[in-house]
Amino acid sequence: MKYAFAKRVRHLQSSAVREILKVVSEGNVISFAGGLPDEDLFPMEGIKEAFEKVFSSGKKSLQYIETEGYRPLREILIERMKKKGISGYSADEVLLTTGSQQAIDLFSKVFFNPGDIVLTENPTYLAALQVFESYEAHVIGVESDEYGMLPDDLEAKIKRYRPKCIYVVPTFSNPAGKVWSLERRRLLLKLAQKYHVVIFEDDPYGDIHFHKDEQYWPIAALDEGTHVLYTSTFSKTAVPALRTGWIVGPHQIIRIMSQAKQANDLHSNSLAQQALYYLCRDFDLDGHIDKLIDVYYARMTMMLNELEKANLPGLSYVVPKGGMFFWIELEEGMNTTEMLPKAVKKGVAYVPGAPFYVGRGKENALRLNFTHSTPEKIQKGMALLTAVVKEESRDCKLLE
């Protein structure tokens, strides 16, 4: 039988990241490809104890709960967000989701008609693009430098395209690993206010923050509770398997997203939400995050050193101030998509940069994850990778 799928299915495809992860996970390859935290650092004891507390609290803990999610966790999140400057919200303006990915999906479901415009950084988070496209929204990339979107291009595109939403990952962005300046954050908000556009601020990495002397205010902290939706997750700081993220924002939007969620899945896993409540209450999650930061910073530094040592021609990059990714651009003419199979054959994997772009992207860029590999593997993997790059670069020149 031939099935008549919906039009939106045209935009669905297995992501490059996913296909690579599949290949890599089968072999003996050092992978800088995924966006995985290091499982050796997972707070297993804390999680186990948290679940024991859930089960000790009685059988009611196994029953259905309200769509918005376990209220005591939402209340703890309100307090945690206050420390980042996001205030003025109550637990009624927080929706617990299946990872922050679901927050992007629910937002898109209640906002986008086919043909609606969303502005994003370029490159930006691949799986957000997939969500927007799955609701047939049209994505337009805004030009940016290392401090964030370029004001002139941003305002010009707002005026020209009248977007419904501007999607940004301003703190340790995926894939580019950069941090927006406070000035650019303020300016984005000002333009959003001026032209009545909603900002969707995706902040999965904000807590993996290498330079504690520098404070990066979320855009939501600058807002008066009207223009910004802010989403984050426990996947990078606690563990991914709990699949718990959250979104906070204007009451009316959160209400409607929660009605959409009711139809989507009634509610997310509530055992995980209860366990996270006990984890936040009784376990030193911030102390744990500090340990993660130390380890990840050392790994990023090692990756940086190996990269500098290799002395690749035409290389450019911004040193990540946090997060999980190192974004590098090789010399002009290199094609990282074509290079990938060769790298994997040599025993190292990465994500080519092109799929992260709206429209035609830079063929010579690639994304490296520095959180999931041990220092030994980073050293070995970077030696393999830089050798492949040099070989490819030589071949490139011979062809010229």
Which CB atom, from 266 or from 319, has the smaller least distance to a second copy? 266
Exposure b/e, 234-254, CB count within 10 A at least 16 = b: bbbbbbbebbbbbbbbbeebb
d(CA 267, CA 258): 9
| Residues contacting 5, CB < 8 A, separation 6+ | none
Q: Residue 294, exposed/middle/buried by CB under 10 A (0-12, 13-18, 19+)?
A: exposed
CB of 196 to a second copy, least distance (A): 6
Q: CA separation (Å) from 8 to 27, 114, 115, 257?
A: 34, 9, 12, 20
Which CB atom, from 274 or from 364, has the smaller least distance to a second copy? 274
Which CB atom, from 271 or from 384, has the smaller least distance to a second copy? 271
d(CA 9, CA 16): 17
Which CB atom, from 169 or from 312, has the smaller least distance to a second copy? 169
CB of 80 to a second copy, least distance (A): 21
Cβ atoms of 234 and 242 closer than 8 Å: yes
CB of 339 to a second copy, least distance (A): 25
CB of 105 to a second copy, least distance (A): 5
Instruction: Map tokens 């908000």 to a residue.
Output: 189
Q: Residue 90, exposed/middle/buried by CB under 10 A (0-12, 13-18, 19+)?
A: exposed
CB of 289 to a second copy, least distance (A): 16
Which CB atom, from 253 or from 343, has the smaller least distance to a second copy? 253
Which CB atom, from 122 or from 270, has the smaller least distance to a second copy? 270
CB of 263 to a second copy, least distance (A): 4
